[in-house]
Amino acid sequence: MRLTYLAYSFSLTIMYFSLVLLVPIFVALYYKEFDAVLPFLIAAATAFFISITLKKLVKGIDKIKSINDIKKSEGLCVVTFSWLFAGIMAAIPYLFFGITPIDALFEATSGITTTGSTILTHFNYPHAVFFWRSFTQWLGGMGIIVLFIAILPQFAIAGRQLFFAEAPGPTEDKFTPRIKNTAAALWKVYAGLTVLEIVLLKHAGMSGFEAVCNSLASISGGGLSPNAMSIIGFSNTVLWVTTFFMFFAGVSFNLQYKAWTKLNPMLLFKNEEFRIYFWFVIIISLVLSVSLHFNMHFGVWDSITHAFFNISTLISSTGFCSDDFIHWDYVSKVLLFTSMLFGSCASSAGGGLKVMRWLLVFKIMKAEMMKILHPKAVFDIKISDYSVPKDVLYQTLMFVSFYFAIIAISAFLLAIVEKNTVTAITGAVSALGNIGPGFGAIGPLASFEPLHWFSKVILIVDMFVGRLELIPFLVLFQKDLWIFKN
């Protein structure tokens, strides 16, 4: 790797993130909460100072005019350390409101990775703080680097390596000739859906501030609400509007862009991954509604509403709740946990293992079983009539293996520290899948603040690894990566 290229790219992302840290100041000024201005000013100044210092310390960085020939390994490093930096810088404002450093990092990481877990034990904070929580989720949902690629000329060509490093899913779907245009198209769909949800939630009875924060949190698959009770207590209209946008937060934005530009929603159903995702939500939600009606004695309409809402919020890794499901019956909890493991679609704002990987794993299993019956036959694994390259199949199996290995290790350590198996397992699945709530002591309305500091560290690492989708994280442990050149 070339140290000068890394330093130059990293300094750019740091500098532009310093501008992002200034946005909540406008919210603070609007609500005349002047005490909330200084924390974000200091955070922005710190980021800017680090950017300038980095340029001064690394020799030869001033000679770089562009990063158009940045390598994939360098792109992985830039993306990984940019996300780590974003989490650390995003934590600085929380320190000024009586939150400890480890809790501030936990809250910031939960926001930037769109996990949605919180350490807050009360909600007596300025509007700017709650906006920052929601805004960090919104940035993280589509990807900070993808945003910079879309708007910054420095990443016009080099953005390809950074784009795929930030979203290393099982498919690399570049649907416009230039990666900059692809990033811009994704953000147009993302921003358009956000604005539409704000309007609909405002019309459904939410205040303007709540509509903005909850929209930023739901379309990003985040789930950090400015309300202590999440979405509990709002009308069924609000619940169904939120359900609709959470569902589409888990749908590939590439696919949504194609459907929107061609004004043909049926294009969604031509995609095999979307069909599985769609029918999984429909079937599991209907089964859950039956369970809620007969086991929890919910009314018919309330059963359907809460079932679709909570399945959508967990499968899309949003993490909102319309009811405290920690008190639901065992069957209902099993259905919810199944949704947490299933995950959303590739190239979406949602987390989890992703539908595409489940689909590929089952197709690989089927092909291997058929080879036993027909040893000489050649089986071509396809997704929506497209043949999947063998290297993608191998990467998928590797990803799934490491995914469950990390869950097992994390759950084991959490169980030892917290002495609660349910909390440990669901906490590991929730953090790595960027989902938010779990069961046991970390239910949908619970705070993570009482957890041991070491448990919080484990969950912070899991949240970062889950948002980066393992690959950049695993690459960091390869010694060949750390051979630096001029």
- Residue 293 CB neighbour total at 10 angstroms: 17
Report the pLDDT averaged over residues 44-56: 91
* Cα–Cα distances in angstroms (integers) from residue 194 to residues 111, 135, 260, 317, in the given order: 17, 12, 15, 17
pLDDT tens digits for range 161-173 = 444 444 545 554 5
Long-range contacts of 471-478 (CB under 8 A, 24+ apart): 471/76, 471/168, 471/395, 471/399, 472/76, 472/77, 472/79, 472/80, 472/165, 472/168, 473/80, 474/402, 475/73, 475/76, 476/76, 476/77, 476/80
* Cα–Cα distances in angstroms (integers) from residue 475 to residues 73, 198, 471, in the given order: 8, 39, 6
Report yes or no on whether pTM surpasses 0.85: yes
Q: What's the pLDDT score for residue 200?
A: 97
Nearest alpha-carbon partner for 166 in 293, 277, 251, 81: 81
Mean pLDDT over all residues of the chain?
A: 87
Higher pLDDT, 410 or 10: 410
Higher pLDDT, 363 or 13: 363
Strand spans (E) along 314-457: 382-383, 386-387
Distance CA(326)–CA(204), nearest Å, equals 27
pLDDT higher than threshold 50 for residue 157: no
Distance CA(398)–CA(178), nearest Å, equals 30
Q: What's the pLDDT score for residue 380?
A: 84
